[in-house]
Structures are given as C-alpha cells and as structure tokens.
C-alpha cells in the first residue's frame, strides 16, 4: 500500500473541495451560510439555543445575531425555556419550515447526484462514507431510550433480522415479520429499548422485556457494520443492564445462535453463563447473568 497518510490527505483535499461546493450550494437563497447552518438545526418542535451553539461551535454574540436575523425574516420564533428561564428555545414558523424544506431538498439532490456518480459502486461508496462518519463521530455517540414503535427502532430491528438471516443457517426471513406485536413489552414500566445515535443515524440498538418475576430478557442487540470494532456492543449491553437494575430486576437471560460468535464471546467475557434451553429455534445458545 502506498503511504496511508498521503492518501488521507488526498481524501481531505477532495472532500474539502466537495464540502466547499456543498457550502456554497446553501447560498443562492439570499442568506449567509452561518445563518443557514443555524436555521437547519432548528427543529419544528423547538430546539435549545445553547445546543445549536454548542454543536456549531459559535460565539454567543454571533449566535444571538443569527437568531435576530432569522427572526426578522420571520423564519423562527424564540421563547424562554420554562424549565430554566435563562435559556431560550428556538422554534420554526411555518415559513421557516418551508425554508428548511427547501434547503433539505437542495442537500438531498446534491447527495443523490453524488451517489449516482459512483455508478455500480454506489453501495460501496455509502458503506465507505458510513465507516468514516462513524469513526469521526465516535466521540459524539449517544445512547438514548427510544420508542419501540418508532421508525428508527423498526429500522434497527429490520437490520438485525437481515443480519440474522444472513448469518444464522436456521433463520428464515418469515420468522421475523415486522411490525412486532410484542413491541409493547419493550416499554416502561417493565421493559426498555435503547438506541445508539451517531449524529442523526441510529447505529446500534438493544431491548429488554419482562420474562418471569425478577428475571428480564435481553433482546435484539444489533450494531451497524460501520460502528463495529469499537466496543459499542459492550457499551450497549452495559447500558441495558443498568436499565434492568433500575427497573429492579435481579436476573437477566438471553437466547442467541452459535453462529453469532463475537456476541457469545462478549457475553461470556461479561459474566454470562450458559443455561438450559428456555426457547426454541433459531436459538441454540441460552445464557443468564445475575445483576
């Protein structure tokens, strides 16, 4: 392989040029880039001003000016946060939502064009971008509770089932027909569902449901290919165990398949022990852990 560092710097130049083009593509709607970057971070339901400032690394004075300018344009409204009245919350007006949608469409079109440029290698391109984005976002990874009926959880579970079908010989697609009738059991007060976010993309999930008195069952641990090799599965397991503890459980169980060797190695390394079967195919390994 030629010098890896030289290759990385070529990448930097290529992407900087592309990102520059991306930035200027956000112009042409008569608004400076800084204001646009703020605008597109405001969610319709309202976003904490400090959060935006922090994400964009802006000076508070500059941020304030951007907000005033967007307000003058009638794209956002700001109100004080009732929970902490020093803070302010920015909310999109209908005009603002339309404007954000327009910027979204521009970005979407650009992105689609870039992917199209890859031709037959589009899938590889997206996978490569995923890997890089996940590595760069690695420190910003956040694990948050999620609604088991939400779109992101459904997407994670679908990815999990696809993975099972690909790797477990005994698994067939029709074993996992979403939507899941049992999704309610992954909710409070007796269940839980966690998703790991890299930026706004879910890259891992895990769920917990009541099994039998003081025993809960861990289900559907999944980590996206781009996020593997960084100890995320271990973090997810540790997070769901904490949830279980807080819900008052004393024992955890899980079933899995011997084809999923890394997962089993992780379980063994973190205090899980084999037990007698308590479910059927496609599982062929059953484990337990005291809390």
**Which positions from 34 through 73 interact with DNA, judged by CB under 7 A?**
34-35, 48-50, 53, 58-65, 67-68
CA–CA separation, 16 vs 18, rounded Å? Answer: 5
CA–CA separation, 249 vs 207, rounded Å? Answer: 14
Residue 167 interaction partner, one of a copy of itself, DNA, none, beta carbon < 5-8 Å per kind: none
Which residues contact residue 149 at a Cβ distance below 8 angstroms, ignoring those fewer than 6 apart? 179, 183
3-class DSSP state of 178: coil
3-class DSSP state of 260: coil
Report if residue 139 touches DNA, rule: CB under 7 A: no
Residue keyed to tokens 């009245």: 85
Measured on CA atoms in the order 225, 230, 236, 241, is the torsion positive or negative? Answer: positive
**What is the closest distance, in whole angstroms, from the C-beta atom of residue 125 to a copy of itself in the complex?**
6
Nearer to a copy of itself, 40 or 275 (CB): 40
Interaction pattern, residues 22-51, with a copy of itself; x per rule: CB under 8 A: xx----------------------------
From the number of C-beta atoms within 10 Å of its C-beta (0-12, 13-18, 19+), residue 71 rates as middle
Report if residue 110 touches DNA, rule: CB under 7 A: no
Report if residue 75 touches DNA, rule: CB under 7 A: no
Element (H, E) at 139: none
Q: Which residues pair with 288 in a beta bridge?
A: 253, 273
Report if residue 58 touches a copy of itself, rule: CB under 8 A: no
Q: Site for DNA (CB under 7 A): which residue of 55, 73, 78, 271? A: 78
**What is the closest distance, in whole angstroms, from the C-beta atom of residue 198 to a copy of itself in the complex?**
7
Residue 184 interaction partner, one of a copy of itself, DNA, none, beta carbon < 5-8 Å per kind: none
Q: Site for DNA (CB under 7 A): which residue of 7, 10, 87, 268? A: 87
**What is the closest distance, in whole angstroms, from the C-beta atom of residue 76 to a copy of itself in the complex?**
20
**CB atoms near residue 9 (< 10 Å):** 11
Report if residue 101 touches a copy of itself, rule: CB under 8 A: no
CA–CA separation, 291 vs 49, rounded Å? Answer: 40
Nearer to DNA, 35 or 133 (CB): 35
Distances 269 to 136, 155, 218, 224, 262 between C-alpha atoms, Å: 28, 29, 16, 21, 10
Q: Site for a copy of itself (CB under 8 A): which residue of 68, 87, 108, 144? A: 108
CA–CA separation, 222 vs 163, rounded Å? Answer: 9
Binding site for a copy of itself (CB under 8 A): 1-2, 4-19, 22-23, 107-108, 111-112, 114-115, 117-133, 135-138, 155, 159, 198-202, 229-230
Binding site for DNA (CB under 7 A): 32-35, 48-50, 53, 58-65, 67-68, 78, 84-88
């Amino acid at each position: 392989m030629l010098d890896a560092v030289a290759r990385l710097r070529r990448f930097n130049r290529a992407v900087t040029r592309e990102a520059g083009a991306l930035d200027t593509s956000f112009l042409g709607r008569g608004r400076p880039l800084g204001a646009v970057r703020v605008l597109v971070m405001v969610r319709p339901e309202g976003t904490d001003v400090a959060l935006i400032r922090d994400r964009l690394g802006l000076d508070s004075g500059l941020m304030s000016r951007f907000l005033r300018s967007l307000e003058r344009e009638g794209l956002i409204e700001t109100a004080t946060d009732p929970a902490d009245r020093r803070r302010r919350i920015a909310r999109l007006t209908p005009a603002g939502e339309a404007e954000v949608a327009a910027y979204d469409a521009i970005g979407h079109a650009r992105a689609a064009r870039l992917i199209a440029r890859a031709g037959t290698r589009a899938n590889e391109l997206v996978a490569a971008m995923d890997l890089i984005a996940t590595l760069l976002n690695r420190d910003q990874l956040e694990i948050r509770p999620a609604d088991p009926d939400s779109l992101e959880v459904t997407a994670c579970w679908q990815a999990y089932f696809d993975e099972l079908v690909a790797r477990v010989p005994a698994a067939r697609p029709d074993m996992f027909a979403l939507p899941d009738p049992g999704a309610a059991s992954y909710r409070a007060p007796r269940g839980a569902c966690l998703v790991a976010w890299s930026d706004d993309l879910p890259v891992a999930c895990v769920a917990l449901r009541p099994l039998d008195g003081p025993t809960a069952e861990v289900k559907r641990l999944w980590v996206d290919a781009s996020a593997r090799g960084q100890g995320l599965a271990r973090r997810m397991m540790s997070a769901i165990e904490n949830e279980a503890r807080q819900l008052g459980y004393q024992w955890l169980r899980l079933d899995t398949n011997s084809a999923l060797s890394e997962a089993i190695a992780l379980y063994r390394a973190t205090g899980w022990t084999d037990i007698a079967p308590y479910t059927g195919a496609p599982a062929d390994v059953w484990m337990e852990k005291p809390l």
